[in-house]
Amino acid sequence: MSAIWTLLAAVISFAITALLGKWMIPFLQKLHFGQTIREEGPQWHMKKQGTPTMGGLMFIIGIVVAVVICVPLYYANAFDETLLMKVRIFGGLGMGLAFGLIGFIDDYIKVVKKRNLGLTVIQKLVLQFLAAAAYLAGIWLAGGKSSTLIPFVGEVDFGWGYWILAAILIVGIVNAVNFTDGIDGLNASVTFFVCIFVMMIAGVTSVFSVSIMAVAVAAGCMGFLVWNFNPAKVFMGDTGSLFLGGMVCALAFGVNMPILLLPLGIIYIAEILSVVLQVSYFKLTHGKRLFKMSPIHHHFEMCGWSEMKICFVFSLVAAVGGAISLALVFFGV
C-alpha cells in the first residue's frame, strides 16, 4: 500500500507545482516581484534582472498538499505508526514551512526595497535556530532520544549535546542549500537526486512515511524545473531554498540518521565551504582569492562552464553522494 501513496504523492506534488507556474509566474510579474541581481556576481547574470522570484511558493504548495493527503492515507493502514514518527514527519514539514517563511520575509524585503539584501545575518540565524529548536523540542516531547543511528557503528547516544549538535547541523545544512541556489535549475536538480536517494533509504529501512515525503519533495523539484530550467522563467528565491533545506534535514532526521547529510549533501557542503574558505583566505591574504568567485558554482561559471553543464555535473556528484549513502545504509544498518 505504501507504494500507492508514494506514487500518488509524486503525481500530486508534480502536477500542482508545474500547473501553478501557469498562474503564479504572471502573478509575480504583475506584482513586480523580480529578482535583484548582485552587482559583484557574474556580469552576464544581469540579463536575469527582474525575473520573477519567490517561485518556491509553487513547490511548497505542491509538496504540502501531497504530504497532507498521502501520509495520513498511509497512516490509516499503518496501525503500528508511533507518535514520534508522526512528529518527525509533520513536525519536519512544519520546520520546512518555518524556514520557508523566513525566506519569504527575506525575499519580500528584497523586492520591496529593490536590493539584494533582506534580513541581516543575525536576524536570519536567530530565526533559523528558533525554527530548528522548535522541531527538535517536538521530537523530544514525543519521546525522541538523544541518540542516532550511524552505519557500521549502530545507535550512539550523544547525551544532551545531541540537541545542540542537531540544531547546528540543521541551520548549517539549510544555509548550505540556500547557497546552492544561484544558477538556473541547480538547486532543484541537486535536491531532486538527494530526495530520490532518501526515498530509497527510507524504503530499505521500512520508514515508508519518510519515503512518501521524500518523493513529494523530489516531484515538487521536478515540477519546478519545468519553469526553472535554463533559461529560467522564475527563481525559487530564499522562500524556496530555505524550505528545501528544512525538508532535506527533516528527511534525514526522519530516518534517524542525520549523519547521512554529509554524503547526501556533498554539493551543499561544498557550496558553503567554498564561501567560508573564500572569505577566510581573502582576509588572511589581505585581498587574494582562493576561487574566481564563490559559491563554487560561480567559480566554474567563471572558468567557462555553461549553467547546464554545471547542473549536470553537480547533479551527478549529488547522485554519487546519494548512492554512497544508500550503500552505507544497505550494508551498515
Asked, for residue 59, whether it belongs to a domain, the answer is: yes
Asked, for residue 288, whether it belongs to a domain, the answer is: no
Asked, for residue 326, whether it belongs to a domain, the answer is: no
3-state secondary structure of 147: strand
Asked, for residue 67, whether it belongs to a domain, the answer is: yes
pLDDT of res. 114: 67
Look at the alpha carbons of 212, 164, 169, 154 in this order and tell me if their dihedral is positive or negative.
negative
Asked, for residue 300, whether it belongs to a domain, the answer is: no
Distance CA(230)–CA(246), nearest Å, equals: 25
Asked, for residue 293, whether it belongs to a domain, the answer is: no
Number of domains comprising the chain: 1
Distance CA(118)–CA(180), nearest Å, equals: 18
C-beta atoms surrounding 121 within 10 Å: 9
Asked, for residue 329, whether it belongs to a domain, the answer is: no
- Where are any strands of DSSP class E within the chain? 147-150, 154-157
What are the grid coordinates assigned to 270, written together?
Answer: 561544498
Distance CA(51)–CA(235), nearest Å, equals: 7
Binned average pLDDT, 10 residues per bin, the chain of 333 residues = 90 98 91 64 59 93 98 82 92 98 93 75 96 98 94 93 97 97 94 98 94 98 95 94 98 96 97 95 91 93 94 98 97 87
Residues 6+ apart with CB under 8 A from 198: 210, 211, 214, 248, 251, 252, 255, 264, 322
- Domain membership of residue 122 as a residue range: 2-259
For residue 34, the 8-state DSSP code is B
Write out the H or E segment, with its range, that includes residue 188.
helix 186-204
Asked, for residue 330, whether it belongs to a domain, the answer is: no
Taking a C-beta distance cutoff of 8 angstroms, is the pair 318, 190 a contact?
Answer: yes
pLDDT of res. 193: 98
